[in-house]
Structure 1
C-alpha cells in the first residue's frame, strides 16, 4: 500500500494531466477540418417561400357593420292649385296607400259666352274637387295644411311614415371589387336580436358627384331605394329591406353578410402571391433551375386570404408566396394594396 501511494498514484496523476494537456493542444492548434478561407463571409442562403397552385373551394362573403333605420317618411304633395276644402284624416292616424286624406277645391273658368244668366247677372263660380291621397301605407306623421288654406301644385301637405325598416352599412372600395356580381339579398344578424334572417331588395348605391343630401345612384344595375338610408354615411352603401315578420327597432347594430359568390374545384393561390387584387394580376412562377419569371393571370373570386386564378396558371405550378408589390397583410386584420390604400376587415378588428 505504501508503494502505491508513493509511486503508482503520482504516476497516474501525471499521465492523466499529460493526456488532458495533449487533447487541449490538439483542439487549439490541430482542428479536424481546415480553417475557413474567409471566416468573415456569411455561408447561409436566403430561400424565398413558395406556394403551390392547387384546386379548392372559395366562398366570397363580404361582411359589413350596419345599422337598422326606420324608412324615411314619404311626402304627400298636392296635385292641384286651389284651396283646401276638407280634411278627412287627422294627423297620427293610420292610412293605407291611396286613402284620401284631403281634397282641394279648384275653380273652373266659365266660357265668356256662358258667364252671365238670362237676366245679365254673373253666374256663380263653379269648382272641381281634387283628392290628395296617401302616397304609402303607414302613419300620417304630419299634416301641414288646414281647411281654407291656398295650396299650389307640388306643395307638401304632409308626410306618411311607413312601418318598415331597412338595414344600411358602408362599403369600402376594396369590398366593392369583391361584389362585381351584385347580390340581390343579404343575411343580417341583429346584435342582441333574433336569429339571422334574409334581408331582400338589396341596393348598393353611391352618391352622384356634386349631389347634396340623399341623391344617389345605384351601381351594378340595381335601383336606388327611397327609404332606409336616413343614417347612411357618405360613400357607397348597401341597404336592404327588413321583412315585415321580423321585429326590429331603429338604431340597432347589425352585421350584414353579402354573398359575392362561391366556387368549387377552382385553382387557388394566396393573395400575397398575386400582384393585383381584382380581375387581373401577375404572379412569379418558379423554374426548375431556381429562377422566377413574371406571368400575367386572370383573377376570379377572393375571400381576402385566397384568390381564384381563372387563366394563366396551371394546377401544381410553384410560385413565390410573396410577390413583389402584392398586397401585404398587416396587423389588426388590415391589408395594404399596391396603390398604398389600406382596407381593415371589421370582423377581424372586432
Structure 2
C-alpha cells in the first residue's frame, strides 16, 4: 500500500507542473499572436480636455508693493567742485577734517577782463556740498583749478541701502515714491529709508543694466545702526487701490497704461477689447475702464507663453506652451 502511494505521488506532481507550464505557454502565445484583440476601446484611460478658462470680472484691493533684495554700503563721497577757474589763495580746512554742509573750504582768485576792457580780479569761495569728512583733499595755496573740477571729496557719515529692480517693474513705480521700508536680516526692526532714487546706467554700462536693471537706493536714518555688507529686504510702496475692478495679469496683453482682453460674447465667441489699466501687484491688475463688473473674459491670453512664475489654477498645468485643464 505504501509502495503504491509513493508511486502515485511521483507521477502526480510532475503532471501538475506540466499543466502549469502549459497554461503559461498558452498565455504567452495569446499575447504574442492575438495581442491586437486588446484595443483601446476595451481599456479605460484618464482623459484631459484642453479648454479655455474664463474669468468673471470682480472687485478687490490691489496693493502695489515692489519687493527686492539689497545691501548696505557707505554713502558715496560727494565731490567738491571748484566754483572758478583760478588759483587757490586761502585754504580754510585740512585733509581728514570733518566739515558741515556750507562750510568754507578755500578761496579762489582769477584775473579777469571787465566788459570795459580793463583788468580786474574775481574771488570765489568754495563750500562743502555736504557734511562729512574731507577725503582726497590736496589743495594748496598757489595750486590752480578749472571751474567744476573737484578740489576734494566729502565722505558723508551715512549709509545707503541699494538694490536692482527689473526694468519692467518701473511701470509699477511711475509715481516715483520717495521712501521705502527696509528689513535687515538679523538686524534692527524694519525702518523707513528716505531720499529714494532710481539710477540708470550710463551709455557705457548699458549692457550691465540690461542684465541687472536700474539701481534703487535710499539713505539709512542716522539713528539706525548698520554695517557695510549687510543684506536687506527693500519694500517700495507704489500705492494701493481699494474696491476696484481687477483681472489677472495673465488675461491682459500689456499691463501698463492700456491693454487688451478677450471678451466673451453671449454666443460664446470672443471679442478683443481695449482696457485702461491702473495699479498691478504682479498677479492682478486694476481695470479703470473698458469692462464692467460681472463681464467674462478669457483668463489666459491665447498663444501667450506662460512665465516661470505664472500662477495656474489647481486643475490646470502647462504642456507644450498650452494651458491644459481637466
Q: TM-score, normalised by structure 2?
A: 0.67
Q: Which residue matches 1:239?
A: 217
Q: Is 2:292 the partner of 1:311?
A: no
Q: CA deviation at 1:138?
A: 0.7
For 1:54-203, list aligned pairs within 5 A. 54-80=58-84, 84-85=88-89, 87-104=91-108, 131-151=125-145, 153-203=147-197
Q: CA deviation at 1:104?
A: 5.0
Where 1:136 maps in the other structure, the secondary structure is coil
Q: Is 2:277 the partner of 1:299?
A: yes
Following the alignment from structure 2 to structure 1, what is the Cα–Cα distance between the partners of residues 50 and 146?
80
Following the alignment from structure 1 to structure 2, what is the Cα–Cα distance between the partners of residues 281 and 155?
49
CA change 1:131–1:65 in 2 (3 A) is same
Following the alignment from structure 1 to structure 2, what is the Cα–Cα distance between the partners of residues 135 and 315?
55
Q: CA deviation at 1:239?
A: 2.1
Following the alignment from structure 1 to structure 2, what is the Cα–Cα distance between the partners of residues 316 and 129?
73
Q: CA deviation at 1:61?
A: 0.8
Greater mean deviation of Cα atoms: 90-99 or 129-138: 129-138
CA change 1:251–1:107 in 2 (3 A) is same
Q: Is 2:244 the partner of 1:266?
A: yes
Which residues of structure 1 form unaligned runs of 5+? Answer: 1-38, 110-125, 215-232, 336-350
Q: CA deviation at 1:57?
A: 1.0
Following the alignment from structure 1 to structure 2, what is the Cα–Cα distance between the partners of residues 130 and 294?
66
Following the alignment from structure 2 to structure 1, what is the Cα–Cα distance between the partners of residues 146 and 253?
61
For 1:324-339, list aligned pairs within 5 A. 324-326=302-304, 328-330=306-308, 333=309
The answer to whether the 8 A contact 2:276-2:290 is kept is: yes
Q: CA deviation at 1:108?
A: 9.7
When the two chains are superposed, the root-mean-square deviation of aligned CA atoms in Å is 3.4
Q: Deviations over 1:277-319 (max 9, x none)?
A: 2222222233444333332222222111112122122212222
CA change 1:82–1:327 in 2 (3 A) is same
Q: How many residues are matched?
A: 259
The answer to whether the 8 A contact 1:65-1:256 is kept is: yes
Of the three residues 323, 331, 343, the one matched with 2:301 is 323
CA change 1:51–1:131 in 2 (3 A) is closer
Q: Which has the higher helix share?
A: 2
For 1:246-285, list aligned pairs within 5 A. 246-285=224-263
CA change 1:253–1:146 in 2 (3 A) is same
CA change 1:160–1:267 in 2 (3 A) is same
The answer to whether the 8 A contact 1:274-1:326 is kept is: no
Q: CA deviation at 1:60?
A: 1.1
Q: TM-score, normalised by structure 1?
A: 0.63
